[in-house]
Amino acid sequence: MCGIIAAISRDDGLENAVISALERLEYRGYDSAGIAYLDRNQPVLCRIRATGRIENLKRKIAQRHIDGTIGIGHTRWATHGGVTEENAHPHACNGVAIVHNGIIENYQQLKERLKRNGYCFDSETDSEVIATLIAYNISDGLDFTGAFLKSIRELTGTYAIVAIHEKEPNTLLGAKNGSPMTVGLSPDGMNFYVASDAVALSSLAENIAYLEDGDCIIAENSDPAIAYKILDKSENEVVRQVVPNSISLKSVNKGGYETFMLKEIFEEAVVAAATYDGLDCNVDITKYGAISIIACGTSYYAGLLAKYFIEELAQIHVDVEVASEFRYRNPVLSPNSLYVFISQSGETIDTLCAMRLVKQRGYKTLALINVDGSSIAREADIVIKTASGIEIGVAATKTFIAQSLSMLMLCQKKEDIKMDQITSSINAVLNNCQQIANAAEKMKGSKGLVYIGRGISYPIALEGALKIKELAYISAEGYPAGEIKHGPIAIVDEDVYTISIAPYDKHFEKTISNTQEILARNGKILLITTKNSAGAVAGIVDHDNVDVLFLCDVEWPYQAFCMATAIHLLAYYTSKAKGHDVDKPRNLAKSVTVE
């Protein structure tokens, strides 16, 4: 979940290229950041690192001008070792510097061997072992490239690594296994880049290529032009397909909104319409006897919502599983099942490995992803791309809408889907955002939050609880409303706020009963319902402990989408009310490429 960037810049663009890429990579991790480069005038390795946001690093860089042609940069999401400058990348040893995204699983053994050979370590990280191992292999008589390739062969685990060496100031080396890596050339050929993803290169390279697991890249700042070659895991030279960089700079800016997340929530109706118009879903699920949906986090909740859609509309049995559990069970798979993997980033290691398990058993895999060229997209048998556009906010919002609607389109004919109800009800929530902000102001001091719902409102309750945890750092749980009386109601008191999601559907009366049970115990309630329930809730709307948010009356299952928008905004405003960084919540990163 870190971000890496490396550049060979024959013009004076090194500093701007590395910094602009790091700013766009921050969504992958932002505990600390750093750069290393070879000074043009004296090929000495220079390294600048800082904890916290990129701004802190930029302040340090401003104190000295980067005058170099080759450099590497990194944004960190801590896996091994705390958030300190010593643990920040790049790591260096005897003139070799590296940046790394992933986890080196055999780093302890390598570290012990290197220590026995007299090497010392400054950090607690696994990544530092890579720089030291390369330096050790150079001291053993190999040149930089030979030492790099030998070191890579000795690593076990996941990595996207780039390395530079002060004794070979024209060479940039990279290796990929399990973590994403993208390469690109500037339009004028004067700059070559290696990065974690296309977002980092959105203003730098119009055409990019995605490396495969086992690939290494050797780039030389040679004359007359930068030259590079890609070696596969057998060290044979290979060519990887060059594709246009679909991430435009336009999509990687806030468009006048205060935060990326607010922009992305306000795009939810547009994304729903784009998904409806653009989805190429030539998959006939009725051919399968059952469907298994495997995912993590918000994508898992989209899968849970899909279960209700598919079983109701297509009468096909659906299982939904958390990828990190599925992949370590010995799951019983069926040739007559379709295995669906939902992932907005397409890089979540648990989901990727779960899909590899199913493929190894010889079964059909379908990936619903939002990022072209992502690892999951490249390995699935069938790929459906959601039309969300890039999502920068770490908390998933518009991609949840796109995923959920995409799954609905697998089981309801396109012409039967009432898109006007979906888009108009989402827009009505967006237009009523101030009422949601007011509710958030009341909730922000809660010691705990409970989200309840029945039917399709239950996955929305789970998504709401996750969002508020991620963004407002308040303990929150989502429950089936019917489960409240089986224990969770014990936590209800005047400090606990319950968000009761109760559209006027077949579950409404029962969910209101559960809400009354909570009210009877002095619990505070935010009731999210639909306007056609006004008469039925007349009895409780005037209660001092109750606030009501009325959504548009839309038919089942279309209310799922505007309810999602409502709980996304609720989490957003609660986080803002608490003064948190909405786009980069603490401890999180946008794509979870480590286990």
d(CA 304, CA 461): 11
Residue 178 has φ and ψ, to the nearest 5°, of 90, -30
Sign of CA dihedral 30, 31, 35, 36: negative
Report the nearest approach of ligand AGP to the CB of residue 254 (Å). 18
Nearer to ligand AGP, 508 or 572 (CB): 572
Report the nearest approach of ligand AGP to the CB of residue 101 (Å). 15
d(CA 77, CA 30): 6
- Whether 374 and 272 have beta carbons less than 8 Å apart is answered as no
Per-residue contact string for residues 327-366; x = within reach of ligand AGP by CB under 6 A: ----------------xxx--x--x---------------
Which among 25-33, 131-139, 296-304, 547-555 is the span making contact with ligand AGP, rule CB under 6 A? 296-304
d(CA 48, CA 36): 6
Of 339, 337, 341, give the one whose Cα is nearest residue 289.
Answer: 337
Report the nearest approach of ligand AGP to the CB of residue 298 (Å). 3
**Which listed residue (161, 294, 296, 519) binds ligand AGP by CB under 6 A?**
296
Whether 2 sits among the annotated catalytic residues: the reply is yes
Report the nearest approach of ligand AGP to the CB of residue 389 (Å). 15
Which among 166-174, 176-184, 394-402, 547-555 is the span making contact with ligand AGP, rule CB under 6 A? 394-402
Residue with tokens 């999509």: 251
Of 134, 190, 120, give the one whose Cα is nearest residue 165.
Answer: 134
Nearer to ligand AGP, 79 or 132 (CB): 79
- Residues numbered 439-478 forming contacts with ligand AGP, rule: CB under 6 A: 470
Q: How many residues touch ligand AGP (CB under 6 A)? A: 15
Report the nearest approach of ligand AGP to the CB of residue 62 (Å). 32
What beta strand segments (E) does 226-348 contain? 227-231, 237-238, 242-244, 290-295, 317-322, 337-343
d(CA 454, CA 459): 8
Structure tokens that stand for 380 in this block: 């699935």
d(CA 273, CA 492): 40
Which among 76-84, 132-140, 208-216, 389-397 is the span making contact with ligand AGP, rule CB under 6 A? 389-397
**Which listed residue (298, 375, 386, 559) binds ligand AGP by CB under 6 A?**
298
Whether 287 sits among the annotated catalytic residues: the reply is no
Nearer to ligand AGP, 126 or 391 (CB): 391
**Which listed residue (297, 303, 373, 389) binds ligand AGP by CB under 6 A?**
297
**Which listed residue (50, 160, 394, 552) binds ligand AGP by CB under 6 A?**
394
- Whether 392 and 583 have beta carbons less than 8 Å apart is answered as yes
The C-alpha angle 241, 245, 249, rounded to 5 degrees, equals 170
Residue with tokens 């295995």: 339
C-alpha distances in Å from residue 191, one per residue of 183, 206, 525, 571, 591: 11, 12, 57, 41, 27
Nearer to ligand AGP, 345 or 412 (CB): 345
Report the nearest approach of ligand AGP to the CB of residue 22 (Å). 20
Is 404 a binder of ligand AGP (CB under 6 A)? no
Q: Which amino acid appears at position 179 of this protein?
A: S
Nearer to ligand AGP, 71 or 303 (CB): 303
Nearer to ligand AGP, 344 or 530 (CB): 344
Per-residue contact string for residues 566-595; x = within reach of ligand AGP by CB under 6 A: -------------------------xx---
Report the nearest approach of ligand AGP to the CB of residue 470 (Å). 5
SS3 275: helix
Cis ω for the linkage preceding 503 (within 30 of 0) = no
d(CA 496, CA 452): 13
Applying CB under 6 A, which residues contact ligand AGP? 296-299, 343-345, 348, 351, 394-396, 470, 591-592
Catalytic residues: 2, 590
